[in-house]
């Protein structure tokens, strides 16, 4: 009886985990699949994962005095070409890299000394300061958005990269996380460094930093993902200059320029924006994950073989290359 109860409990846990995974993965599955399909296949939700890849005609292309033959292409080519033409995606991606890396680097520069002081130095009011750090963790970002915006506007910093970076340079979560990690570092290691004549700042960067790499990687995931995907704050401080738009904000502007039923290019743009985070995760994973396909299930192998139906000739690749550059190649 106890064994049956245990098996039922384990089955329930696995069911919940699988259900949660499906809920998270399904939107990404549809996003990637829709980026391959024609509008008709998207509307009817048919064609499998890759779609039939039958030639289609770009209606907007016909309005530019081009022949019907020049405007006829595969759905995958149409979607990704339209995505790069309708919005400067490469510029949005570059802005995202600049903003997220700037925020993370400055957060680390500030968080490490603060965390070291709270963990290893004895000074008056240390517990009070740590209590304030805990209290700041409870304050929602939206509660301080208006004061931050008014402050930046007063100094004329709206519509600049500074407005995207400055408000997030001090991370109380980073200070808290690193402080908890530094508490586990033996005091003997720090005392030995002091006996060798190292200053407290030297200890932070030459002793504590190398030991804190695992914690920094964990913090990097939270920081980079949060600010790469942030839509709320860029929407407030960037009010028209497309050259400063981050990927989520740029995707919104792209969507507003598209027709209501042009989901293929929208999903292609979303795929391009999501791809850097996925690639970065795979490259940085300690297990050295490689994107390979392996299964003994015949139905899965048959489904994977559908990818061979996507045929791209040299002209198709050239159109994708030209769209990525953002201008015609002579």
pLDDT of amino acid 165 = 93
- Residue 75's nearest CA partner among 270, 277, 311 is 311
Q: Which residues pair with 72 in a beta bridge?
A: 57
The pLDDT tens digits of the residues spanning 261-314 come to 577 888 888 888 888 777 777 766 666 655 554 555 556 556 656 666 666 667
Please tell me whether residue 169 adopts helix, strand or coil conformation. Answer: coil
Q: What angle do CA 298, 303, 305 make, to 5 degrees?
A: 95
Least confident of 16-20, 60-64, 181-185: 60-64
Query: What is the location of CATH 1.10.3720.10 in the chain?
Result: 90-242
> Of the ranges 210-219, 241-250, 275-284, which one carries the lowest mean pLDDT score?
275-284
pLDDT of residue 102: 94
Rounded distance, CA 316 to CA 298, Å?
31
Could you tell me the pLDDT band of residue 32, with boundaries at 50, 70 and 90?
Answer: confident
Cα–Cα distance for residue pair 103/150, rounded to 1 Å: 20
Q: Are 169 and 110 in contact (CB under 8 A)?
A: yes
- The DSSP secondary-structure symbol of 229 reads S
The yes-or-no verdict on residue 217 having pLDDT over 70 is yes
Share of the chain above pLDDT 70, in %: 81
Distance CA 46, CA 232 (A): 34
Q: What is the mean pLDDT of residues 100-120?
A: 93
What pLDDT, in 10s, does the model give residues 154-165?
998 888 899 999
How far apart CA 88 and CA 79 sit, in angstroms, is 15
pLDDT of residue 67: 72
DSSP H helical segments within 229-296, as ranges? 232-237, 247-257, 263-284
Which pLDDT score is estimated for 256?
46
Give the rounded distance of the alpha carbon of 176 from its chain centre. 23
- What burial class does residue 245 get, using C-beta atoms within 10 Å of its C-beta: 0-12 exposed, 13-18 middle, 19+ buried? buried
* pTM across the whole model: 0.74
Long-range contacts of 122-130 (CB under 8 A, 24+ apart): 130/179
Average of per-residue pLDDT across 227-236? 89
**Integer Cα distance of 83 and 81 in angstroms:** 5
pLDDT at 199 over 60: yes
Answer yes or no: are the C-beta atoms of 51 and 37 closer than 8 Å.
yes
Mean pLDDT of 176-200: 89
Mean pLDDT of the region 37-55: 79
Nearest alpha carbon to residue 116 among 96, 95, 130 = 130
Neighbours of 109 (CB within 10 A): 11
Average pLDDT, the chain: 81
Residue 101: is its pLDDT beyond 60?
A: yes
Write down the pLDDT at residue 263: 78
pLDDT confidence tier of residue 128, bands split at 50, 70 and 90: very high
Task: Return the percentage of the chain with pLDDT > 90, whole number.
Answer: 15
Report CA Rg, the chain. 25
Quick one: pLDDT at residue 107? Answer: 95
Where is mean pLDDT largest: 98-107, 117-126, 217-226, 266-275? 98-107
CATH fourth-level superfamily of 90-242? MetI-like (1.10.3720.10)
CA-nearest of 258, 264, 270 to 229 is 270
Per-residue pLDDT of 49-69, as tens digits, reads: 787 777 777 777 767 777 777
């Amino acid at each position: 009886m106890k064994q049956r109860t245990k098996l039922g409990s384990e089955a329930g846990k696995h069911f919940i985990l699988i259900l949660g995974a499906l809920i998270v993965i399904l939107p990404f599955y549809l996003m990637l699949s829709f980026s391959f399909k024609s509008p008709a296949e998207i509307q009817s939700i048919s064609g499998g994962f890759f779609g039939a890849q039958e030639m289609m005609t770009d209606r907007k292309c016909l309005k530019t005095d081009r022949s019907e033959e020049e405007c006829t292409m595969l759905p995958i080519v149409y979607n990704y070409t339209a995505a790069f033409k309708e919005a400067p995606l490469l510029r949005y991606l570059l802005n995202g890299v600049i903003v997220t890396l700037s925020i993370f680097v400055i957060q680390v520069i500030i968080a490490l000394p603060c965390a070291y002081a709270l963990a290893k130095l004895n000074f008056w009011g240390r517990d009070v300061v740590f209590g304030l750090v805990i209290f700041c963790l409870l304050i929602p970002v939206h509660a301080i958005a208006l004061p931050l915006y008014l402050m930046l506007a007063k100094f004329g910093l709206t519509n600049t990269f500074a407005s995207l970076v400055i408000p997030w340079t001090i991370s109380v979560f980073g200070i808290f996380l690193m402080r908890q990690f530094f508490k586990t570092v033996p005091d003997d290691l720090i005392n030995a460094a002091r006996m060798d004549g190292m200053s407290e700042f030297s200890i932070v960067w030459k002793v504590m930093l190398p030991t804190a790499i695992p914690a920094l990687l964990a913090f990097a995931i939270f920081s980079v993902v949060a600010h790469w995907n942030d839509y709320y704050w860029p929407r407030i401080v960037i009010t028209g200059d497309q050259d400063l738009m981050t990927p989520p904000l740029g995707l919104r502007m792209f969507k507003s320029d598209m027709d209501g039923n042009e989901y293929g290019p929208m999903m292609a743009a979303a795929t391009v924006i999501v791809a850097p985070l996925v690639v970065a995760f795979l490259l940085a994973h300690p297990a050295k994950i490689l994107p390979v396909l392996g299964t003994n299930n015949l139905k899965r192998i048959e489904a994977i073989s559908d990818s061979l139906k996507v045929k791209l000739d040299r002209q198709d690749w050239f159109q994708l290359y030209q769209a990525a550059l953002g201008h015609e190649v002579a």
